[in-house]
Every structure is written in C-alpha cells, then in structure tokens.
Amino acid sequence: MKKIHLSLSLALLLSSTAGAGLAATPEQTAMAALRAAPVVDGHNDVPEQLRSRFDNDFTKFDFRDTTKTGGNGKIVMHTDLPRLKKGMVGGQFWSVWVPADLPEAEAVREVTEQIDTVHRMVAAYPNDLSLALTAADVERAFKAKKIASLIGMEGGHSIGSSLAILRQMYRAGARYMTLTHSKNTPWADSGTDAPKFDGLAPFGVAVVKEMNRIGMLVDLSHVSEATMHDTLDVAQAPVIFSHSGAQAIDGHGRNVPDNVLKRLPQNGGVVMVVLLPDYVSEAVRQWSANRAGEEARLQKLFPYAPASVKAQLSDWEKANPRPQATVQQVADHIDHIRKVAGIDHIGLGGDYDGMDSAPVGMEDVSGYPNLFIELAKRGYRQADLQKIASGNIIRALRQAEQTAARLKDMAPGEARFSPAQP
C-alpha cells in the first residue's frame, strides 16, 4: 500500500510539474489570441499605391507578391497576401484616400474610382479576400479563412460637402469616413491646419448625425482636438480613430489627448494605434522637426546653391542619425490608452503603405505577432489581446449598425452646405 501511495504521489508531482511547464509563454498567448481573433487593421493604403504605382491597372499588379515593387524612388510595398496571412491579419479597412488639396468635385470623382479599385481587388483575389459591409461579414470571413475587406474614406473633402454624396458612398461600401485629412474641410477643422471653426461647423454636425443615421463610423484621426470634442458631444454611435496614437506618449497633433481618451468609455469609441514613426516615437518626431529646421536654415543661407544645401544636409544627417521607432514604443501607446480609457477602447491601425518606414520588428504587415508577444510579456491576457486585435472594432462597428437600426425611421438629412453659412 505504501508503495502505491508513493507511486501516486510521484504521479501527482510529475503532473503538477508538467502543468507548470505547460504554462503559456508570451509567444503562445499571443498566437492563441490571434488565432481566436485575427487582427482587423483600421488603415492600409494599398489602394493609393495601386493608383500611384500602377495607375489602377490590375494587369501590372500582383497582390500575391509585392516584395519587388521598390525602385524608381519608391520603397518596397508593405503589404501582400502572404505577408497579411503571416501577420495574422483577418480584416482590413482599405483606405480610399485622395489628396486633400483637390477641388471637391475632383475629390468625389477620384475617391469613387478608389472605391471601385477596392471592389476590383477583392474580385481579383476571391480565394483570399472577402468584401465586408457589416460586423457579421467580418466574422464570416474569419470562419472562411479569408481577409475581410472593408472600405474607409480618408478625408471629408471626398463627399463634396453633400449629404447625398455621403449616402451614396455608404451604398458603394464605405464604412467609415475620416472627417478631415491634413487640411480643414469646408465644415471641420483638421489637426494639422489653422483652425477655422473651432471644431465642427453646423454642416459638420449634420454630417456626423447623418453618418450615425446610416451606420457609417465617424473617424477622428487627423481632426483637431476641438473637432474631436464637438463630435463626441453629438455622436450617438462609437467613434473611431483609424490610425492614431496617444498624445501623452508622442506629442504630435495627430495623436489623441488624454481629455479625449477619458470620454471614450461613455461613447464606446476605439483608438486604433498607428505605427508611423513620427506618431509613435517622440524622439523621431523631434528629429524630424530638427531636420526640417536645419534644411530651412541652409536654404536661407544658401538660396543660390541648392547642391551645397543638399550636401550640408546630408552631412547633418550623418552626424545626427534618425532614431528608430520600436515595437516597445507602440506597446507604450497601448499601455497608456488602457490606463486612461480602458482595454475596451484599443485597436490597431498601422498606416502600412501610407508611410515610408515602420517600427523595428514591424517593418511590414507580417510583424503584428511581434507586438502581441510584447504585450503578452507585459501581462496582457489572451482575452485582452483578442479585444485589441479585433474584438473592440467589431463591437464598435456592430454598435454603429445598431444605432442605424434604431434611427431607421428618421428622415435623411436635408442640410445643404453654404460657404457663407458652413
């Protein structure tokens, strides 16, 4: 009997030791989270690359491999199908951006062409991509092992100051619109332009209300702090920041200040953390400002000698090498947003193919697992990681749909834009 008890004790000890040995590593926690909830990225500029590199000609574009797209002054693209799958990206908002300085009529035409480009891209790769118009569509794409493809309009200039055009863009598939880009629209202030309205003009308020009515997410990346607050004052559905960071970590005006983060729990909104180095790393932001200052100084000193300006600026760069953004710094933004707004208000919006470089370890879309491993090392649980990867943004999209259903008996907005009374 004693021998049996000893054997049982030994078995229990070995079982306990094996259990301890099987405790999930950060790598295992990260991958388990991404298998359960693949990344839904809030912002990727492949459509803009299709336009600028290939003139939207699909005979010149192969999304199965874009690693040979460098040269002629262009960097290699960040995105293709194999790298999306390696990065555990299961959903992507494809940005349909056109320049903010275009006349509105041209912007409407060109963004319509860009929406068409996304539809054509999805149709060209039916085994890999699936058009998604609803939260349920995203979840169905997950189950089918396809990449849910959503459309995000970057810049309110693309609706030509018309609620009717806004409604048509929604019918064409757009599921968010960034209220501004780098410049003010005629009815909302940008975060990188001189303020004109101290936030939203009256027509801008009408735009937000109509977006809520039809179920289109309001995107507050690029807008001024006053525009953020004005929008939160009237929004009935969650807002998103499709590609922004925390201003407390990096002081760029494109990032979200704490007084806005504190309002997100009441609204239900989501900050989709960006990877663009100037917005991620304060050291990179300061270096960029110093370089711009040095270039301006040299141009002032040597307006007659551009070759000398170029040579001396090159010498300055050698003496002052550009810092690198890191995965750890991206995680710092997530830590801060969790601290101020909470875990339910964080997502990811890389801005891949809309930037020249990305953080070390996340140089292209295949790098997302490295971020999740870093977060797991910091103590994020699998459930937390699943919310960041896609749970929170799918919830926000579904709530926007529910708001539209609640408002279905409301008549379409009739506001007309007038330059004299914006």
Contacts of 123 (CB under 8 A, 6+ apart): none
Residue 18 pLDDT exceeds 90:
no
**Options 3.40.50.10880, 3.20.20.140, 3.30.1330.60, 1.10.443.10; which CATH number does 25-280+324-406 get?**
3.20.20.140
CA distances from 81 to 178, 221, 240, 306, 347 (A): 26, 26, 26, 42, 21
CA quadruple 315, 320, 321, 323: dihedral, nearest 10 = -150
Q: Span 143-165, mean pLDDT? A: 98
Contacts of the segment 12-17: beta carbons below 8 A, 24+ positions apart: none
> What is the 3 state secondary structure string of the chain?
CHHHHHHHHHHHHHHHHHHHHCCCCHHHHHHHHHHHCCEEEEEECHHHHHHHHHCCCHHHCCCCCCCCCCECCECCCCCCHHHHHHCCEEEEEEEEECCCCCCHHHHHHHHHHHHHHHHHHHHHCCCCEEECCCHHHHHHHHHCCCEEEEEEEECHHHHCCCHHHHHHHHHCCEEEEECCCCCCECCECECCCCCCCCCECHHHHHHHHHHHHHCCEEECCCECHHHHHHHHHHCCCCEEEEEECECCCCCCCCCECHHHHCCHHHHCCEEEECCCHHHHCHHHHHHHHHHHHHHHHHHHHCCCCHHHHHHHHHHHHHHCCCCCCEHHHHHHHHHHHHHHCCHHHEEECCCECCCCCCCECCCCHHHHHHHHHHHHHCCCCHHHHHHHHHHHHHHHHHHHHHHHHHCCCCCCCCCCCECCEC
User: Which among 157, 243, 336, 345 is annotated as catalytic?
Assistant: 243
Sign (positive/negative) of CA torsion 407, 413, 419, 422?
A: negative
User: How would residue 421 be classed by pLDDT, with cut points 50, 70 and 90?
Assistant: low
Amino acid identity of residue 33, one-letter, is: A
**Is 119 among the residues known to form the active site?**
no
Taking all residues of the chain, what is their mean pLDDT, rounded to a whole number?
94
User: Which among 43, 78, 333, 345 is annotated as catalytic?
Assistant: 43
User: Would you kindly state where each structural domain of the chain is located, as residue ranges?
Assistant: 25-280+324-406, 282-323
Residue 264 pLDDT exceeds 60:
yes
**Is 351 among the residues known to form the active site?**
yes
User: Which among 351, 353, 364, 384 is annotated as catalytic?
Assistant: 351
Helix axes 392-406, 135-143, angle to 10 degrees: 140
CA distances from 365 to 87, 148, 358, 421 (A): 6, 15, 10, 44
**Is 243 among the residues known to form the active site?**
yes
User: Which among 45, 210, 230, 353 is annotated as catalytic?
Assistant: 45
User: Which among 48, 137, 219, 222 is annotated as catalytic?
Assistant: 222
Contacts of 360 (CB under 8 A, 6+ apart): 324, 325, 326, 327
User: Which among 48, 80, 104, 154 is annotated as catalytic?
Assistant: 154
**Is 43 among the residues known to form the active site?**
yes
pLDDT digits (tens, 9 = 90+) for 101-133: 999 999 999 999 999 999 999 999 999 999 999
pLDDT digits (tens, 9 = 90+) for 78-97: 999 999 999 999 999 999 99
pLDDT digits (tens, 9 = 90+) for 179-233: 999 999 999 999 999 999 999 999 999 999 999 999 999 999 999 999 999 999 9
Amino acid identity of residue 254, one-letter, is: R
The vertex-373 CA angle with 367 and 379, nearest 5°, equals 150
User: How would residue 422 be classed by pLDDT, with cut points 50, 70 and 90?
Assistant: low
CB 92 within 8 A of CB 44: yes
User: Which among 157, 181, 333, 336 is annotated as catalytic?
Assistant: 181
Neighbours of 286 (CB within 10 A): 14
